Amino acid sequence: MNPDAFSSPLFVKRAMYIVQEIASLADAVDFLNEWPEDRRDLIHEAALRECYDAYEGRKPVSAARNAFFGFAKRAAILEDATPPCSGSLPASRAVEKCERRRRRRV
């Protein structure tokens, strides 16, 4: 297992219909470095610092994940990790459930 991998991935909204998986320190650092400069704040800075500290072994990877989680939540880009049509329904009922959800969104 990759020592820089998060215990469980985070999912963030990158654009209107694009969700990105953040599964490691490298993913988090890349995402934070690509964040628009005009939207950076102290929380962004703290999350990036935590990621670098974890990468250099000064902090646990879990601290970096928690910091990135806080940043994503504050930036309102955190996405739910559960698929919208998951569950233990038979296939035919699962399709119906998905169709109902799609109709409600439109």
The structural domains of the chain, with segments of one domain joined by +, span 5-105
Listed residue (1, 16, 14, 4) closest to 72, CA to CA: 14
Listed residue (76, 51, 61, 59) closest to 7, CA to CA: 61
Predicted confidence (pLDDT) per residue in 18-46, tens digit: 999 999 999 999 999 999 999 999 999 99
User: Which of 12-16, 42-46, 51-55, 66-70 is predicted least confidently?
Assistant: 12-16
- Predicted local distance difference test score (pLDDT) of residue 52: 98
* Better-predicted residue by pLDDT, 94 or 49: 49
- Predicted local distance difference test score (pLDDT) of residue 94: 54
